[in-house]
Structure 1
Amino acid sequence: MTKLLRLPDGAFPLLLVICGIFSLLPAQAQQNCPAAASACTPGAAPAANLRFGMGITQVQLESIQNTTAGAQDGYKDYSCTVGTTLVPGKDYPITITTNASVNENVRVWLDLNNDGTFNATQELLFSSKAQGVHKGSIRVPSTAVVGQRLRLRIAADYALSPVPTPCSTPEYSQTEDYSITLAANTSAPTADFTVDQPVSCTGCVQFTDLSQNLPATWQWSFGDGTSSTEQHPRHCYAAPGTYTVSLAVTNAAGTNTLTRAGYIFYDTAQPVAASCTPTTAEHGFGITRFTFGPFINNTPTGQAGYEDYTCNGKIRLTGGYQYPIAVATESGSPQDTRVWLDANNDGIFEPVKELVFEALSKANPSGTITLPYVTAASQPMRLRVISDFAGAAAGPCTNPRLGQVEDYTLVILPVTQLPVVQFASNHIQGTCIREIRFTDQTTNFPSSWRWDFGDGKTSTEKSPLHTYAAPGLYSVSLTATNNVGTVTLSQPDYVYITPECLQYCTSTGTSTFAWISKVSVNNSAGATVFTSASASEPTGYGNYLTRFIRVQPQETYAMSVAFGTTTAVTQHTTAVWLDGNRNGIFESTELLYTTYEAGLEHKLTFKIPTQLPAGAATRLRVQVNTSALPPNPCSISTSNLETEDYTLVVGQQALATAPAQALAALTVYPNPTSDGTLHLRLADGNRSGTYAATVENLLGKRLAASVVRLTPDAEATMQLPELPHGLYLLRLRDANGNTTVRRFARE
């Protein structure tokens, strides 16, 4: 159209040329615009809605790194100035940032055929719902035009507004256009694929090719001897099992193969079909996450309605244990949540009998469920979870009004570990009470028990009551069995019953400034047969009757009593009593040692009295005091005094035979030995030499043999850890055939 304007004198006419809608851009910029103009131009959000601060503030896609002001800019067309180059068939990360305070929906389209019109579904490359930062990836299909600038449209709007379309005007946000230029692919493909469900209960699986760089051919191997050349095949497996799947993709640049081992699991073990399938009337009080033991399933909101996870939501838990259960609810308000288990697997949930969990009027309820012990894996059972608003009608087949129902599969497994044997009793060491209640504390669900009380009596009860016929020191063992196997726990000297019901006097005090820190006993050969470390006792009395000092009849021993102190105390009184006649009274004649002297350690020697025969047990009392007062075994509330009681056990007397005396300078220690280690020391240099050593039981059976060399300068060691508890004979024979025998005990 041409129009002549009347101008002032001297002016030249101006010719205006208007050709449709044409931007007055420089020629260079016009060459960089998409070839096809957009068939529609979205409008800007109403000015009244700009105060909410929505809009697109940043777009990141390869070389596009564009930061803008947001909705106040309205529609912006950057397609002539801001763009990037992509290759069809490749995945590219994209990030679109909108208002950080208000969630928005985002859609991205690309004019694939460059005709100026966006197809709302076929040309949609990316979508994001109700986010502030929208991250994902885009892949341009091979059908797109290559070598030309294509228009990329990004539209955003408030999450509760209508979802944007290519030509819609946003209510609160905005639309921006950019450009994409596609370059031809020159790379070999990279194989990738996915499936609709890696765990299938029907055997039919839909495979989807995700390979990049535009493969031209596909070769699938499904792991069951079958294959396919389709891009997105659907395959049905004939038999249950685990299958490895591989995909080889090829284009003009090469071939690439991806193999996923054990990728498909076809499982036909399913619970019986439920007799009812509740449906949700409305949405608002659903389930968003279900947790049972280590199993976690994040689920859609209640608008999904009934969800059947019995195929890919299998829960496998070991029976007999207690497991945590938790349900994340949708509304945030209190909800009624219940869980039923079809325990008899008949497809019918019994409303009361099979209700295993209930939490009323609680948001995000949690608790525990104890599963029954089984000896073999159970059949798959249906587990039903229902959550609805507080006070809603309840029942495993009741349709929730606003809530949701989810079904899972539960398989209860048998225990796979041996019993861990433990036991306890009401016995107090050193008392005369002969009736004892033993309590089994074994874990991993034993099914049978066998007790050995050390007196020739046994029991198969779980927690028996046993009465000992005579006083003494007894070892107790418990053998427990479950479906995996059998384990035995032995407790040496677990029971110590005194001959009479003795009531020893009490001794108390305060041990603020000085206390007994260690008691040690050595035999005549210098070997330590007992040591006990202790701390300051609050009441001034330490009951250590379960710590046994093991001695031999009529032998002499050295004792050391060490002290702990918080002050520079220079002198202590130390006293030691032994109830030799076992009458429960520490008589004046039974005071083994007393001294008042300086030092933090006092030493004494004592001999086992003849009135204590082999097998006898009695009480030994050690006392320390910072004063010089005469010792009193029954001191009460005495300042700076501490008392400790121990049990002294007299063992079997060593053999006094001619062979034993044939090598009088030989010492064998420790005796008894706790770990099977024996040290042999020969003080007589005239008898030095090599000896043949054998170990026998009391019936003369030979159990071990070795050769040892004995001299005063070096002792020999024998390692016998395999010996069980009991008494043994050590027999030594020199080069001339002379024999020496020693008896020793293995604890």
Structure 2
Amino acid sequence: VQFANLSTYAQDLLWDFGDGNSSTETDPEHIFAGPGSYLITLSVQNACGSSLFSDTLELLPPAVADFDLDFSGGCVPFDVQFSDLSTGMITSWEWSFPGGDPASSDQPNPTVTYNTPGLYDVSLTVSNAQNSDQLTLTGLIEALPFPTADFSFVLSGDTVFFTNLSSPPGLSYQWTFGDGSAPSAQTNPLHVYPDTGLYEVSLVVNNTYCGSVASATVEIVPTAVGTLSPAEAIGIRPNPTGGLLYLSGLPARPTAVRLWDLRKGNIRNWEINGPTGTVDLEGLPPGLYLLEVRLPNGAQWTKVVKN
């Protein structure tokens, strides 16, 4: 603390700082050990006499900003309760909540609503009678959109190809197929049913904070894998194959060809220009796959065995 002598006609001075320390300087500076109440006394004298002046100095602890909150994220809209944990005999609070409602507050323990997805900072400035302090936490609040579960599916005999239409992207997924099989976490799974019948399929989507579910009934009826007549069927040889498959009877225009793994879904895609072409299964493990050939009047699905 810097002291200033305002005495007049003083020749000799003695400062008593109330903590066992003293000084004879005119305008001394003194460091106190800690917060507290100190009786400061200044004694002055000259040849004509002496005088004494005393006053109490209140030293406050430094203001230190700190806070806590009940939630650091959620699906919009959601509320966050902030709690002031600052120390130092705080007398004022200045909160800043970018992206929040309200965007600022002078209350010690405000409640803020977040309505728009985003990553938001929070700042608190606190003050007492002698100093102030600020604490800013970057990216503290994570506000996510509420997920919406949705899907469609295409049947080919006992095989169902599911297309995930959920939003937004970046979710986790759990499919249950209604036949007692293990759930799937794939985005767009392919599932083979053991028997004909009605099956209730559910898709649960989750982000970090919340989730949504969609359900649909799938009916499996006896049908051939290829839906085209023999005259229209595309030739696919050899089957089984060690790698290359030769396709014939394709339309003249570009034809999309897709390969499906029974566990992983769509794994390879090709486009063939002209009535014949090849697709390569090199590098795939031996097993059963489905080859989809997209045609003007639908699609041909063929079970392919990789040796």
TM-score range, shorter chain: 0.3 to 0.5
Give the structure-1-normalised TM-score. 0.15
Query: Which structure has more RCO (C-alpha within 8 Å, separation ≥ 6)?
Result: 2
Give the structure-2-normalised TM-score. 0.33
Question: More strand per residue: 1 or 2?
Answer: 2
